[in-house]
């Protein structure tokens, strides 16, 4: 039977993620539009994003925070291109985005003093292998597999190498141990439901030291450059962006941060996302056809929740048939306006991915579950089950 009511907000995409509750375009009416981002007002707005982010996330005062071009990808690439090559590198990858960074290190930067620690979709690698003398590259939350770093005990406080953490689908929904992270990146379009295009880059004092003491042997485009004459360009970390940002996106980022403060800051954001994961876990526990792709609850993501269909009719299908069946389930949900964008990532095993980050209302997830049951039952019936 088709469920009676739909989620009030059917947006469950893993990026761009749904806006905060009660968001309207009206909230952006005071944006600093049609004038220079280098005006006093423009720079103040950009700095406001930096200052509010620092306060909410508890980022130490001596860690730099910059707004940089090209979303999370831009932020992470500029860090890798500016700082890697000074030491050997340990990479940890367990899904598509993490694997993408490793490919760039090998194929583009052509660095070969690499030790690669990988795991398949749903699992995480053996982090205890990390060598504190080497640089470490990893993603805090594997957006395409729904598996996250369970803790940071494996990162030594007295490390000599730098840790580079792509935290784009983690930050604001998970507690990050800033003192153990030398380079952290994210974009506004994930947990806070902001707009894409701009990246956030956090640098520890040791990362700054690397920037000022090491010059990579390859050329760096202007868009990646963080130093001038061997000195950090401090303005980048005060809101004087490398190139022109969208002040409309900036206003939206501020709106999201103010909302976070109103509801109680980081604790409240994490509680919303963890509460959503709990609601999904309770539904999974009482539902035969579904399971988490991430087997170990300790590394199960509270934002990008990846689910697999474990019904016998589905498991009997070939890989291509599974992908086709998953697509049908997703299309039914989309056609009904019950859930948008819940297909698993293209490189992940066929299944569903439901964003459960802090902007998602638990009541919308509760309303979604019967629709997931209905869509899977509909496609199961087509397969004679
Ligand atoms: C872990 C991870 N890294 C990087 C990206 C790329 O982010 P962006 O498109 O904001 O550059 C994503 C996007 O989903 C992601 O999930």
> Under the phi-then-psi rule, with left for phi > 0, alpha for psi from -120 to 50, and beta for the rest, what region is 248?
alpha
Indicate the pLDDT class of residue 60, thresholds 50, 70 and 90: very high
Which pLDDT tens digit goes with each residue over 167-180?
999 999 999 999 99
When computed from its CA atoms, the radius of gyration of the chain, rounded to whole angstroms, is 21
Q: How far is the CA of 97 from the centre of ligand 1 (A)?
A: 7
| Ordered alpha helix ranges (H), 8-113 | 40-57, 71-83, 96-103
**Contact status, residue 304 vs residue 146, Cβ threshold 8 Å:** yes
Q: What is the pLDDT of residue 217?
A: 97
Q: Best of 68, 69, 73, 355 to mutate for ligand 1, by most ligand atoms within 8 A of CB? A: 73
Secondary structure (3-state) at 165:
strand
For the beta sheet containing 304-309, the strands, ordered from the edge strand earlier in sequence to the opposite edge, are: 290-292, 304-309, 352-355
Q: How far is the CA of 124 from the centre of ligand 1 (A)?
A: 18
Indicate the pLDDT class of residue 264, thresholds 50, 70 and 90: very high
Q: What is the pLDDT of residue 70?
A: 98
Indicate the pLDDT class of residue 190, thresholds 50, 70 and 90: very high
Q: Which residue has the higher pLDDT, 42 or 346?
A: 42
State how far Cα 6 lies from the chain centre: 27
Q: What is the pLDDT of residue 149?
A: 98
Q: How far is the CA of 167 from the centre of ligand 1 (A)?
A: 9
Once rounded to an integer, what is the mean pLDDT over residues 181-189? 99
| Average confidence score pLDDT of the chain | 98
DSSP type of residue 356:
-
Q: What is the pLDDT of residue 277?
A: 99
Secondary structure (3-state) at 167:
coil
Which pLDDT tens digit goes with each residue over 135-153?
999 999 999 999 999 999 9
Indicate the pLDDT class of residue 41, thresholds 50, 70 and 90: very high
Separation CA 23–CA 216 (nearest Å): 44
The whole-model pTM stands at 0.98
Once rounded to an integer, what is the mean pLDDT over residues 251-266? 98
Separation CA 312–CA 94 (nearest Å): 27
**Contact status, residue 134 vs residue 161, Cβ threshold 8 Å:** yes
CA of 14, closest atom in ligand 1: 14
User: 295: closest CA among 147, 140, 174?
Assistant: 147
Site of tokens 């739909």:
6
Structure tokens at 102: 């490793």
User: 169: closest CA among 20, 339, 323, 359?
Assistant: 359
Indicate the pLDDT class of residue 261, thresholds 50, 70 and 90: very high
Indicate the pLDDT class of residue 247, thresholds 50, 70 and 90: very high
Indicate the pLDDT class of residue 25, thresholds 50, 70 and 90: very high
Separation CA 151–CA 68 (nearest Å): 28
């Amino acid at each position: 039977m088709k469920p009676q009511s739909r989620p009030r907000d059917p947006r469950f995409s893993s990026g761009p993620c749904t806006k905060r509750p009660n968001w309207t375009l009206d909230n952006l009416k005071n944006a600093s539009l049609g004038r220079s981002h280098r005006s006093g007002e423009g720079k103040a707005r950009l700095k406001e994003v930096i200052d509010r982010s620092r306060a909410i996330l508890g980022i130490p005062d001596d860690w730099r925070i910059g707004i940089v071009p090209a979303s999370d990808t831009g932020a992470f690439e500029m860090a890798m291109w500016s700082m890697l090559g000074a030491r050997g590198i340990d990479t940890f990858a367990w899904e598509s985005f993490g694997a993408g960074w490793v490919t760039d290190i090998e194929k583009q930067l052509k660095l070969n003093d690499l030790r690669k620690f990988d795991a398949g979709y749903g699992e995480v690698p053996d982090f205890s292998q990390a060598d504190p003398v080497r640089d470490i590259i990893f993603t805090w939350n594997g957006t395409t597999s729904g598996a996250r770093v369970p803790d940071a005990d494996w990162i030594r406080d007295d490390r000599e190498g730098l840790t580079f953490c792509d935290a784009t689908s983690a930050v604001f929904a998970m507690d990050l141990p800033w003192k153990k992270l030398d380079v952290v990146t994210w974009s506004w379009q994930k947990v806070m439901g902001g707009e894409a295009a701009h990246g956030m880059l956090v640098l520890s004092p040791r990362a700054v030291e690397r920037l000022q003491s090491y010059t990579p042997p390859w050329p760096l485009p202007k868009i990646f450059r963080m130093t001038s004459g061997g000195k950090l360009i401090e303005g980048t970390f005060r809101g004087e962006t490398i190139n022109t940002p969208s002040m409309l996106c900036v206003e939206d980022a501020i709106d999201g941060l103010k909302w976070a403060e109103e509801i109680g800051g980081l604790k409240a954001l994490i509680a919303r996302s963890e509460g959503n994961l709990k609601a999904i876990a309770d539904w999974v526990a009482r539902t035969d056809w579904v399971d988490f792709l991430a087997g170990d609850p300790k590394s199960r993501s509270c934002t990008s929740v990846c689910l697999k269909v474990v019904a016998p009719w589905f498991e009997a299908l070939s890989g291509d048939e599974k992908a086709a069946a998953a697509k049908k389930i997703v299309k039914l949900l989309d056609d009904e306006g019950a859930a948008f964008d819940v297909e698993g990532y293209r490189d992940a095993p066929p299944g569903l991915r439901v964003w459960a980050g802090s902007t998602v209302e638990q009541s919308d997830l509760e309303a979604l579950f019967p629709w997931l049951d209905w869509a899977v039952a509909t496609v199961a019936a087509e397969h004679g089950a």
